[in-house]
Protein backbone atom coordinates (compact mmCIF):
# COMPACT_ATOMS: atom_id res chain seq x y z
CA UNK A 1 0.00 0.00 0.00
CA UNK A 2 1.43 3.38 -1.05
CA UNK A 3 2.02 5.97 1.63
CA UNK A 4 0.62 9.50 1.36
CA UNK A 5 4.12 10.89 0.83
CA UNK A 6 4.94 8.65 -2.12
CA UNK A 7 1.55 9.31 -3.68
CA UNK A 8 2.05 13.07 -3.29
CA UNK A 9 5.54 12.78 -4.83
CA UNK A 10 4.13 10.84 -7.80
CA UNK A 11 1.40 13.44 -8.48
CA UNK A 12 3.94 16.26 -8.24
CA UNK A 13 6.22 14.48 -10.71
CA UNK A 14 3.33 14.09 -13.16
CA UNK A 15 2.44 17.79 -12.89
CA UNK A 16 6.07 18.81 -13.46
CA UNK A 17 6.33 16.53 -16.49
CA UNK A 18 3.16 18.03 -17.95
CA UNK A 19 4.59 21.51 -17.61
CA UNK A 20 8.00 20.60 -19.05
CA UNK A 21 6.73 18.40 -21.88
CA UNK A 22 3.65 20.46 -22.77
CA UNK A 23 3.41 22.69 -25.87
CA UNK A 24 5.62 25.79 -25.78
CA UNK A 25 3.95 28.99 -24.78
CA UNK A 26 3.09 31.28 -27.66
CA UNK A 27 5.48 34.19 -28.02
CA UNK A 28 4.11 37.59 -27.11
CA UNK A 29 2.61 39.49 -30.01
CA UNK A 30 4.35 42.73 -31.01
CA UNK A 31 2.92 45.66 -29.06
CA UNK A 32 2.46 47.94 -32.06
CA UNK A 33 0.81 48.02 -35.47
CA UNK A 34 1.71 49.67 -38.77
CA UNK A 35 -0.29 50.86 -41.76
CA UNK A 36 0.66 52.54 -45.05
CA UNK A 37 -1.47 54.36 -47.60
CA UNK A 38 -2.11 53.16 -51.15
CA UNK A 39 -0.61 55.61 -53.65
CA UNK A 40 -0.38 56.42 -57.34
CA UNK A 41 3.05 57.34 -58.65
CA UNK A 42 3.39 60.84 -60.21
CA UNK A 43 3.01 60.78 -64.00
CA UNK A 44 6.03 63.06 -64.46
CA UNK A 45 8.49 60.39 -63.31
CA UNK A 46 9.18 61.89 -59.88
CA UNK A 47 9.47 59.84 -56.70
CA UNK A 48 6.26 58.92 -54.88
CA UNK A 49 5.53 58.90 -51.15
CA UNK A 50 3.27 56.65 -49.07
CA UNK A 51 2.50 57.94 -45.55
CA UNK A 52 2.79 55.32 -42.80
CA UNK A 53 1.61 55.23 -39.17
CA UNK A 54 3.04 53.12 -36.33
CA UNK A 55 0.67 52.80 -33.35
CA UNK A 56 1.68 51.79 -29.80
CA UNK A 57 -0.40 49.06 -28.14
CA UNK A 58 -0.55 48.15 -24.45
CA UNK A 59 1.81 50.89 -23.35
CA UNK A 60 4.65 49.90 -25.69
CA UNK A 61 7.42 52.48 -26.00
CA UNK A 62 10.63 52.09 -27.99
CA UNK A 63 12.34 52.45 -31.32
CA UNK A 64 10.92 50.80 -34.42
CA UNK A 65 12.70 50.38 -37.75
CA UNK A 66 10.40 50.72 -40.76
CA UNK A 67 11.03 49.39 -44.26
CA UNK A 68 9.04 48.37 -47.32
CA UNK A 69 9.34 46.29 -50.47
CA UNK A 70 7.24 45.01 -53.35
CA UNK A 71 5.52 41.73 -52.59
CA UNK A 72 6.81 40.11 -55.76
CA UNK A 73 3.37 39.09 -56.98
CA UNK A 74 4.10 40.19 -60.55
CA UNK A 75 7.22 38.31 -61.58
CA UNK A 76 9.79 40.45 -63.41
CA UNK A 77 7.57 43.53 -63.21
CA UNK A 78 9.56 46.77 -63.42
CA UNK A 79 8.16 48.23 -60.22
CA UNK A 80 9.39 51.20 -58.16
CA UNK A 81 11.97 50.64 -55.43
CA UNK A 82 10.56 51.25 -51.94
CA UNK A 83 12.32 52.25 -48.73
CA UNK A 84 13.14 54.92 -46.18
CA UNK A 85 16.46 56.27 -47.30
CA UNK A 86 16.88 58.86 -44.52
CA UNK A 87 16.30 57.97 -40.83
CA UNK A 88 14.34 54.66 -41.04
CA UNK A 89 13.96 54.42 -37.23
CA UNK A 90 10.88 55.91 -35.56
CA UNK A 91 10.63 56.58 -31.80
CA UNK A 92 7.27 55.45 -30.46
CA UNK A 93 5.94 56.74 -27.12
CA UNK A 94 3.52 54.70 -25.00
CA UNK A 95 -0.05 55.01 -26.23
CA UNK A 96 0.99 57.27 -29.11
CA UNK A 97 1.54 57.07 -32.85
CA UNK A 98 4.57 57.85 -34.99
CA UNK A 99 4.24 58.85 -38.63
CA UNK A 100 6.59 59.00 -41.56
CA UNK A 101 6.82 58.53 -45.30
CA UNK A 102 7.91 55.65 -47.50
CA UNK A 103 9.76 56.77 -50.63
CA UNK A 104 9.08 55.02 -53.94
CA UNK A 105 11.68 55.58 -56.66
CA UNK A 106 10.44 55.01 -60.24
CA UNK A 107 12.00 52.11 -62.06
CA UNK A 108 15.34 53.07 -63.61
CA UNK A 109 15.41 56.55 -62.04
CA UNK A 110 17.98 58.10 -59.69
CA UNK A 111 16.74 60.31 -56.86
CA UNK A 112 19.31 62.33 -54.89
CA UNK A 113 19.17 62.71 -51.10
CA UNK A 114 21.99 65.04 -50.09
CA UNK A 115 25.20 63.17 -50.81
CA UNK A 116 23.44 59.83 -51.34
CA UNK A 117 21.60 58.61 -54.41
CA UNK A 118 18.80 56.10 -54.60
CA UNK A 119 18.58 54.12 -57.80
CA UNK A 120 15.55 52.21 -59.04
CA UNK A 121 15.92 48.62 -60.20
CA UNK A 122 17.49 47.91 -63.58
CA UNK A 123 16.16 45.05 -65.72
CA UNK A 124 17.78 41.67 -65.83
CA UNK A 125 17.79 42.06 -69.61
CA UNK A 126 20.20 45.02 -69.45
CA UNK A 127 22.88 43.16 -71.53
CA UNK A 128 20.51 43.40 -74.50
CA UNK A 129 21.22 47.12 -74.58
CA UNK A 130 24.91 46.39 -75.10
CA UNK A 131 24.28 44.52 -78.36
CA UNK A 132 23.20 47.48 -80.55
CA UNK A 133 25.68 49.83 -78.85
CA UNK A 134 28.52 47.41 -79.50
CA UNK A 135 27.35 46.98 -83.08
CA UNK A 136 27.45 50.72 -83.69
CA UNK A 137 30.91 51.03 -82.18
CA UNK A 138 32.39 48.07 -84.06
CA UNK A 139 30.91 48.51 -87.51
CA UNK A 140 30.02 52.19 -87.50
CA UNK A 141 33.24 53.33 -89.17
CA UNK A 142 32.92 50.78 -91.99
CA UNK A 143 29.24 51.47 -92.53
CA UNK A 144 29.74 55.22 -92.76
CA UNK A 145 31.90 54.73 -95.87
CA UNK A 146 28.96 53.69 -98.03
CA UNK A 147 25.75 55.68 -98.40
CA UNK A 148 23.55 52.55 -98.48
CA UNK A 149 24.84 51.46 -95.09
CA UNK A 150 23.36 54.47 -93.33
CA UNK A 151 20.10 52.54 -93.15
CA UNK A 152 21.79 49.85 -91.04
CA UNK A 153 23.17 52.52 -88.70
CA UNK A 154 19.69 54.07 -88.34
CA UNK A 155 18.17 50.69 -87.46
CA UNK A 156 20.86 50.04 -84.86
CA UNK A 157 20.28 53.50 -83.41
CA UNK A 158 16.53 52.93 -83.20
CA UNK A 159 17.07 49.64 -81.38
CA UNK A 160 19.37 51.40 -78.92
CA UNK A 161 16.85 54.16 -78.21
CA UNK A 162 14.03 51.64 -77.78
CA UNK A 163 16.15 49.60 -75.36
CA UNK A 164 17.03 52.66 -73.30
CA UNK A 165 13.38 53.73 -73.17
CA UNK A 166 12.27 50.31 -71.97
CA UNK A 167 14.94 50.41 -69.26
CA UNK A 168 13.58 53.57 -67.72
CA UNK A 169 9.86 53.45 -68.40
CA UNK A 170 9.00 50.60 -66.04
CA UNK A 171 5.65 48.84 -66.17
CA UNK A 172 2.16 50.26 -65.71
CA UNK A 173 -0.34 48.70 -63.33
CA UNK A 174 -1.18 48.33 -59.67
CA UNK A 175 1.30 46.32 -57.61
CA UNK A 176 1.22 44.89 -54.06
CA UNK A 177 3.77 46.12 -51.50
CA UNK A 178 4.43 45.36 -47.84
CA UNK A 179 5.45 47.79 -45.10
CA UNK A 180 7.27 46.25 -42.13
CA UNK A 181 8.03 47.54 -38.63
CA UNK A 182 10.63 45.87 -36.38
CA UNK A 183 11.26 46.59 -32.69
CA UNK A 184 15.04 47.12 -32.65
CA UNK A 185 15.33 45.68 -29.13
CA UNK A 186 13.28 42.48 -29.42
CA UNK A 187 13.06 42.00 -33.22
CA UNK A 188 9.27 41.70 -32.90
CA UNK A 189 7.88 42.33 -36.37
CA UNK A 190 4.56 43.42 -37.85
CA UNK A 191 3.69 44.12 -41.46
CA UNK A 192 0.80 45.41 -43.54
CA UNK A 193 -0.05 45.49 -47.24
CA UNK A 194 -0.48 48.54 -49.45
CA UNK A 195 -0.59 49.10 -53.20
CA UNK A 196 1.36 51.26 -55.62
CA UNK A 197 -0.19 52.23 -58.94
CA UNK A 198 2.17 53.10 -61.80
CA UNK A 199 0.31 55.15 -64.46
What average pLDDT does this structure show over 177-181?
98
Query: CA dist 161 to 120, 123, 128, 142, Å?
Result: 19, 15, 12, 21
pLDDT score of 100 more than 50: yes
Q: Is the pTM of this model over 0.75?
A: no
β-strand 189-198 against 39-40: which pairing, if any? Answer: parallel
Pick the more confident residue, 86 or 136: 86
- 62: confidence class by pLDDT, cuts 50, 70, 90: very high
C-alpha span between 21 and 9 (Å, rounded):
18
The better pLDDT of the pair 58, 168 is held by 58
Instruction: Please give the average per-residue pLDDT across 92-106, as a whole number.
Output: 97
Whether 28 has a pLDDT exceeding 70, the answer reads no
Q: Which CATH architecture has domain 25-107+170-199?
A: Sandwich (2.60)
pLDDT digits (tens, 9 = 90+) for 123-145: 444 444 444 444 555 555 555 55
- Sequence ranges of the domains in the chain: 25-107+170-199, 122-169
Q: Is 177 helix (H, G, I), strand (E, B) or coil?
A: strand
| Helix or strand holding residue 126 (H, E) | none
Q: How many CB atoms lie within 10 A of CB 63?
A: 13
- For the chain, give the mean pLDDT: 75
Residue 178 has pLDDT above 90, yes or no: yes
**CA 178 to CA 121: how far, in whole Å?**
17
Q: Which of 60-64, 72-76, 118-122, 164-168 has the highest mean pLDDT?
A: 60-64
Res 171: pLDDT:
84
Amino acid sequence: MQSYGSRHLFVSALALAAVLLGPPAASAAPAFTITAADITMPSNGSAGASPFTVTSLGGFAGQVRVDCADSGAALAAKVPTCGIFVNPVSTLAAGKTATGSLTLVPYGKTIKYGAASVVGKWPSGMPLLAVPVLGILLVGRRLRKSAGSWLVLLVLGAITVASMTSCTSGMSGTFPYTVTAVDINTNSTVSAPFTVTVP
